[in-house]
Amino acid sequence: MNEPIAIFYGWEVVEYFRYLADAYIRQFPWQVRIAFGLICIGMLTMLVLAILFAIKLRKRHVGRKRFESCRQRFEGPFRQILRSETKISEERMEEICQYEHSQFMSEDSMQLANLLVRLRMDFPHIFYIPNMQRLCHLTGVSQYLELNLLKQRNVVGTLQILMYLPCRVSEGALALYLENKNLRIRELARAYYGFCSRTEPFSMITKDVDKPFNMWYPTLLHRLCGWHAAKGHPMPLFTSLISQSNNNEKKALFIAEIPYYGSPEEKRNLKNYMHLNCKKCCLAAIHALALVGDVESENDLVENYPNLFPEAKRETLLAVARINTGRKVDFFRKAYLHSTSRKTRTVALSCLLHYGEEGRRVFNELSAVGRDDNTLFEQVITFEERNID
């Protein structure tokens, strides 16, 4: 008589194989069972990671294809709009792009934002582009980025795009991040707030004047001041910020901004900061005087030279050479002859070489006399020839 056949249904099949595997594993010692379990967990983990990696690669590939499609259709019209120095109406932009606002709403806003960022890189020295805001509104990019802030999606990336373009969003969208616990988000939000706010455009500077800053803070500050200067807005009072701050690094940063965006009175008073009890402030003040080209401060630089530390002495030599009145040839000669630092002597010789005909003549005289420094003279001459080439 034939034996009855067991038939399993539904979850009984799963239970059957579970019991079968359990009975098979129990015949081995516990050490082998643990090792086998670890191997199985590792294999499952690698399988999950491989699937996630494949999904990420697929998304990146699809995103790259979408961006390339977007670039081929809109790069030319967008570039034409951004290059225009006069403001263009949205109707005219639609004619240039041959695309209406409603059609842009159906496009991938993230790819449009990436395209605008890519095009913005072609204008690195222009702080304010007149048609950027209207183009962002026409394409729906500003609305998309504002929605990201409201829904707290990719906050850092969104703020970076807004800072780089820049295009304005509502101040309410930034309210969540102006006092954020994350220093990076807080600094980015406050910096970008300066582009949106008409009442407190420089809150990034005036708040936390004593606290340390990140490595990208100087770039954000310079960009913010440049944007407002290009639009004809009043600049912050840097002398007041310097007196309020107890952070020497921020003091030096504010001093460095005066040649670009300081008032005429602030530029005239730059020489006073050379005497601050702070090496960074002293270096920043000397470099700022060189950028301003203040002829009246040339004698102050020369008189203060013996009291300076070596790095400041070299910066002073470069500052006097940049002011270039042609009256300080003897100053460079004495700096070379009396200095014990090889770096300082090299800078003095380089300044002489570029200080007009009289400076070159003294350089040649020193070269003929200073036999022990032939290598130094050759290095200076070689460096100049390579720069000319």
pLDDT 10s per residue in the chain (389 long)?
456 666 767 778 888 888 888 888 888 888 888 898 899 899 999 999 999 999 999 999 999 999 999 999 999 999 999 999 899 999 999 999 999 989 999 999 999 999 999 999 888 888 889 999 999 999 999 999 999 999 999 999 999 899 888 888 888 888 888 888 888 888 888 888 888 877 778 877 777 777 777 787 888 888 888 888 888 888 888 988 898 888 889 999 999 999 999 999 999 889 889 888 889 999 999 999 999 988 888 888 999 999 899 999 999 999 999 998 888 899 999 998 888 888 899 899 989 988 888 988 988 888 887 656 677 888 787 776 555 44
pLDDT reported for residue 3? 60
Q: Give the CA dihedral 102, 121, 284, 299, nearest 10 degrees.
A: -110
CB 311 within 8 A of CB 340: no
pLDDT reported for residue 25? 82
Q: How far apart are CA 118 and CA 111, in angstroms?
A: 10
3-class SS of residue 235: coil
Q: Is 5 exposed, middle or buried (0-12, 13-18, 19+ CB in 10 A)?
A: exposed
Contacts 24+ apart (CB under 8 A), 365-373: 366/333, 366/336, 373/345
DSSP 236-257: P-HHHHHHH---HHHHHHHHHH
Distance of CA 289 to the CA centre of its chain: 25
Q: How far apart are CA 197 and CA 278, in angstroms?
A: 34
Q: What end-to-end distance do the CA atoms of the chain give, in Å?
A: 104
Q: How far apart are CA 304 and CA 321, in angstroms?
A: 16
DSSP 181-215: SSHHHHHHHHHHHHHH-SS-TTHHHHTTSSS---T
Q: Among all chains, which residue has been given the structure tokens 């130094």? A: 376
pLDDT reported for residue 285? 93
CB 257 within 8 A of CB 224: no
Single-letter amino acid, residue 343: K
Q: Give the CA dihedral 55, 57, 63, 68, nearest 10 degrees.
A: -150
User: Which DSSP category does 277 fall into?
Assistant: S
Q: Which residues of 103-223 form beta strands (DSSP E)?
A: none
pLDDT reported for residue 6? 64
User: Which DSSP category does 127 fall into?
Assistant: S
Single-letter amino acid, residue 261: Y
pLDDT reported for residue 388? 43
3-class SS of residue 161: helix
Q: How far apart are CA 99 and CA 97, in angstroms?
A: 5
User: Which DSSP category does 216 fall into?
Assistant: T
Q: Among all chains, which residue has been given the structure tokens 């003929």? A: 368
Domain ranges of the chain: 70-208, 326-389
Residue 270 sits at the vertex; the CA angle it makes with 264 and 336, to the nearest 5 degrees, is: 130
DSSP 316-349: HHHHHHHH--S--HHHHHHHHHH---HHHHHHHH
Other CB atoms within 10 Å distance of the CB of residue 217: 17
